[in-house]
Amino acid sequence: MTITPEQLYAYLDGELDAAGRAEVEAALAADPALAAELAAQRGLRRQLRGAYDPVLGEPMSQRLQAVTGETPATNVVDLADRRATPRRGWRIPATGWAVAATLALGVLLVPHLSPEAGLVGEVDGRLVAQGELRRALEEGRSGEHFGRVALGFGFRDRGGAYCRSFTLDETPARAGFSCRGPDAWTVEVLAEAVPQGGELRQAASLPPAVLAAIDARIEGEPLDAEAEAAALSAGWR
């Protein structure tokens, strides 16, 4: 079983289906060189972001403001707007999220962790993000994929902590959000999500139970791209 570079990169970019991911994960476990290449490519992606994301926060030049005829709008997108208008993959931080009104309520999950996942563990009675999930929460940008993890949007809770929503592309797909505690990302809510049929990236929707939990917790608006970049570079503290 040989994994091509294209397959490995597609895995990193969240472009593979479940079977493709399983194949790459098996190869990664068996081949340290492949795992090193994955780490190097993840580092390259981080470097590119580190180089160009600050552009988002630069003051807009006068001529660009002039050419649009007005002061550029901020990137704030409110949660209600996001729910109303699914825009697969095109909107940051709202990338790939959609909620169908007909979805059954997701089930808040605490006891049923799938043992093979390794993405959520228990420390002192709390659920904490591990592995690829922890890495995604720590380093990822909204809309990005880290293996099975797809990041949703970020926000601050009423205590001022940073939180981020995410989906886990597994069977069944699950979605939730996690908040940055002093020493770990606590998984606050995790519920079964319903995958969107026909989506190219198989983005799963945020179940209503998760959205309701976010509504109860969120302070203000979700982070826009600039606020997210700032939080990311400050280590979410």
Partner 1 sequence: MLQPLPTPNVRDAVCEMLPRLRRLARALTGHVHDADDLVQVAVERALARAPQWQPDRPVQAWLYGILRNAWIDEQRARKRQQPFHAPEEAGEDVGVSSIDHYVEQLSMAAAMARLPDEQRLAVSLVLVEGLSYAEAAAVMEVPVGTLTSRLARGRQALQAILAEDTGASR
Among residues 1, 19, 61, 171, the one that binds partner 1 under rule CB under 8 A: 61
* Both structure tokens of 200: 């190219």
- Residue 143 binds to partner 1 (criterion: CB under 8 A): yes
Contact between 224 and 82 under an 8 Å Cβ cutoff? The reply is no
Compute CA 225 distance to the chain's CA centroid, rounded to the nearest angstrom.
Answer: 13
Q: Where are the alpha helices (DSSP H) in the chain?
A: 5-12, 18-30, 32-52, 54-57, 62-68, 79-84, 131-139, 208-217, 225-233
Could you tell me the smallest distance in angstroms from the CB atom of residue 27 to partner 1?
16
- Residue 118 binds to partner 1 (criterion: CB under 8 A): no
- Write the CB contacts of 1 (distance below 8 Å, at least 6 apart in sequence): 23, 26, 27
Contact between 160 and 218 under an 8 Å Cβ cutoff? The reply is no
Could you tell me the smallest distance in angstroms from the CB atom of residue 195 to partner 1?
16
What length is written for the chain? 237
Could you tell me the smallest distance in angstroms from the CB atom of residue 92 to partner 1?
7
Could you tell me the smallest distance in angstroms from the CB atom of residue 197 to partner 1?
16
Q: Please give the residues from 80 up to 99 whose contact with partner 1 meets the rule CB under 8 A.
A: 87-92, 95
Residue ranges that bind partner 1, judged by CB under 8 A = 5-6, 9-10, 13, 15, 40-41, 44-45, 47-58, 60-61, 63-64, 67-70, 72-73, 75, 87-92, 95, 141, 143-144, 200-201, 225-226
